[in-house]
Amino acid sequence: MIRELFVSSRPVSWINTAYPFAAAYLLTTRQVDATFVIGTLFFLIPYNLAMYGINDVFDYESDLRNPRKGGAHGAVLDRRMHPITLWAAGLSCAPFVVYLAIVGSPLSWVILTLSLFFVVFYSAPPLRLKERPFADSITSSIHFFSPAV
């Protein structure tokens, strides 16, 4: 189970979200503190498990036909892993989101909420933004620049 969640989180892509947060935080605060560490860890693992795990659940049918799946490009999750993946994504994000909300400003709450909204609804119905040409591109870019904001 842990291996499937790990592969689903796309470890090769973790840096794409953790680095923008860490770099922006260091540039604006000039300090390594608990928020830096917790925020970087959040955007390193739970955020990616949510983003890619949710995608793997809702793209199951197309992933079965995708020869790239099963390695760096994510998992073809057994259907039995779907509820576990969704729960793991939510539960792994929750304590980080609570902490970041406590230490953040109202503007950071809005940005984090929007970022997580797009993480979920990029793949999940009813919006499934990945199937809408312009929304697909915008949403994909939000995944990677919002951690820096």
Residue-range domain boundaries for the chain: 2-148
For the beta carbon of residue 77, count every other beta carbon within 10 angstroms: 21
pLDDT, tens only, 6-57? 988 999 999 999 999 999 999 999 999 999 999 999 999 999 999 999 999 9
pLDDT, tens only, 63-81? 888 887 766 666 688 999 9
> What is the CATH code of the structural domain delimited by 2-148?
1.10.357
* Mean pLDDT across 58-62: 90
Contact 43, 144 (CB under 8 A): no
DSSP string covering 55-96, please?
A: HHHHTHHHHHT-TTTTBTTB----TTHHHHHHHHHHHHHHHH
Where does the chain have alpha helices with state H? 2-8, 15-29, 34-44, 46-58, 60-64, 81-103, 106-121, 133-145
Contact 23, 145 (CB under 8 A): no
Look up residue 111 and give its amino acid: I
